[in-house]
Structures are given as C-alpha cells and as structure tokens.
Amino acid sequence: MKILIIEDEARIAKRLARMARVYFEQQLTLTVCDTLSKGLAFIEHSSVDVLLLDLNLNGEDGFEVLEAMVARPFHTIIVSAYTDKAITAFSYGVLDFVPKPFDEGRLFQAFGRLNTKSKISDSGLKYLAVRKGGVIKMIEALQLNYIKGAGIYSELHLQDGNQELHNKSLDALEQLLPSGEFVRIHRSYIVSLKQVKKLMIEPGGKYAVHLTDGRLLPVGRSRYKQLRSKMI
C-alpha cells in the first residue's frame, strides 16, 4: 500500500503516518508532503494508492486542490477541520471525509473502505472529475449513460453521446457512485439505472440490458439477480 499524506501541520502529519503504519503494518510505503506543490510533484513521478489530504494548505483554497486530486486514479480521503465542507467533498468523489480532531477508530474506518468492495451508499457523488489536456473537467453524474472499464481506466459514456476517459478503475468508481442510481451489471460495465429501458434474456441464457438510446449491454450471470431486484 502506497500512501501519500499532504498536510501542512507537522504534528498532524505525524499522527496520520503513525496510525497508517499501525493499520497497514508491513506492506506500507509512506510519504508526507507539507505543501500542495510538493504533493503534486510527487504524484507526477510516483504511483499512489491512497491520498490523505488536508483541505486548507497554508491558506490555499481546498477545493481547487480537491478537483485536481479526485481526477487521479487513486482514492482520496479528506482529513480536514472544515467539517462543513464534507458534503461538497463527497459530491466531488472522495472516498471518505475524516473530520479533525480524529482518533484511530475513525481513521481506521476510512482505511477500511479501501479494502471492502462495499459502496459508500449515500456518498452523494454528483461530479466526476476528468483530467484532459492538463485541465480538470467536472462531469455531472446525472449525465452518465454507462461506464465501461478499460484496464486501469474507465470510459465514461455520456447521454449526449460523448466519451471521456477517467483515471480511476471501474472498481474504484463503483465504490464512489451512489448505489441507488448506478449498478454494476458486468465485470466491465456500470450502468445508470435511469437509462435502462428493459432487461432481456437472450438465446443461450445470456442476459442484456436495453438502454434508452437503443444500445445493448451485457449483464453478468452473477449480477442478473441484483439488477432485477433494483429494477422492480
């Protein structure tokens, strides 16, 4: 596990590092950066699995930081004193928001979300941030038709017919997207429930969904029951 901590208060950074070491034990690479620029420079050259991010870094506005971070392939956990920003942070697609002051229990709970496949059911994600040509573009979750996994990336298929490439894997996005609106129907597909017109059984015992735009997507055998229960 490769963890990056971006936190300008030395004492709090130490605390996060100590607790992370306790949770992940041996299999941990830990880096602490006390400014955003150092953090960004680190991300460009090294791979990261999870980022622990403070929202206010030496007076810098946290949300510009956040947009830049959630577009990255790894999960971001916000550790911040600005508890009133939690809902907004979730809507941008963070895995968890740990309010300061925090104890071991709360931080471990956040770490727990990394491993379990369970979703943060009511995360309230509203935007997906896509990095394109150096700029960050915010895409409304409501504009999604379906998402197709493409190795370590995901293809976002939008209702207007456009496609965007997201840096997070389909597994990572599944964790972030609200379960009431999005369903994983296949190893390679997540679909927006609102766009599903009907569920079809094809010859040969194969399943498929018919989307409102006429497209057919395959449904995994093991996922059929879950999809049907959500559609009824």
Partner 1 sequence: MQKWRIFLFLQLIVLAACHRDIRYDASDAVISQPDTAFTASVQIDLLEKKFSSSLGLQVHSFGAFVVYWDGIRVGQNGVPATTGQPEVPGTETSYYQIPDKLSGLGKHNVMIRGTQKYLLETERNVMAKPESYLKMLRQPLIELSLVNLMAGAFLIAAIYYTFLFANSRHKQRTTLLFAQICFLFFTLLAMEYLKYYIDIPYTQFYTRLIIVGWLTFAIAVLIPVYFAVHFDVPHKLPFIGILLAALVSIYILKYGHYDLTAHLYSLALWIASVLILLYALIKKQRGSVLVLCGFAVSMVINQYMFYDFGLYIAFTLILLCILYLQTLGAKQLEEAHHASLLLSSRLQLELIKKNIQPHFLRNTLTSLMDWVEESPAQGVLFIQALSQEFDVMNEIAERSLIPIRQEINLCRHHLSVMQFRKEVTYIWEDAGIQDDEVIPPAIIHTLLENGITHGIPSNGSSIRFLLTFLHADTHKQYTFEVFAENRVRSGRKSGNGFRYIEARLKESYGDRWNFTSEPFAGGWRSIIRIDL
Among 68, 81, 136, 158, which residue sits at the site for partner 1 (rule: CB under 8 A)? 81
103 near partner 1, judged by CB under 8 A: yes
30 near partner 1, judged by CB under 8 A: no
Q: Which is nearer to partner 1, 4 or 13 (CB)?
A: 13
Q: For partner 1, which stretch binds (CB under 8 A), given 75-83, 142-150, 154-162, 205-213?
A: 75-83
What's the alpha-carbon Rg for the chain, to the nearest Å? 19
Q: What mask of x and - would describe binding to partner 1 in positions 129 to 168, judged by CB under 8 A?
A: ----------------------------------------
Tokens 């609200």, located at residue: 178
Tell me the residue ranges of DSSP E strands in 159-224.
Answer: 163-166, 182-186, 189-192, 196-202, 206-211, 216-219
Beta pairing, strands 216-219 & 182-186? unpaired
At its nearest, how many Å lie between partner 1 and the CB of residue 132?
22
| Total chain residues near partner 1 (CB under 8 A) | 24
Q: Are 99 and 81 in contact (CB under 8 A)?
A: yes
Q: Number of C-alpha atoms within 13 angstroms, CB side, residue 114?
A: 21
Q: Residue 211: exposed, middle, or buried by beta-carbon count in 10 A (0-12, 13-18, 19+)?
A: buried
Q: For partner 1, which stretch binds (CB under 8 A), given 51-59, 133-141, 184-192, 214-222?
A: 51-59
Q: How many CB atoms lie within 10 A of CB 201?
A: 11
At its nearest, how many Å lie between partner 1 and the CB of residue 82?
6
At its nearest, how many Å lie between partner 1 and the CB of residue 188?
40
At its nearest, how many Å lie between partner 1 and the CB of residue 11?
4
Q: What mask of x and - would describe binding to partner 1 in positions 83 to 102, judged by CB under 8 A?
A: xx--------------xxxx
Q: Residue 55: exposed, middle, or buried by beta-carbon count in 10 A (0-12, 13-18, 19+)?
A: buried
C-alpha 94/C-alpha 185 separation (Å) is 23
Query: Which spans of this chain sit near partner 1 (rule: CB under 8 A)?
Result: 8-12, 14-15, 35, 37, 56, 58-61, 80-84, 99-103
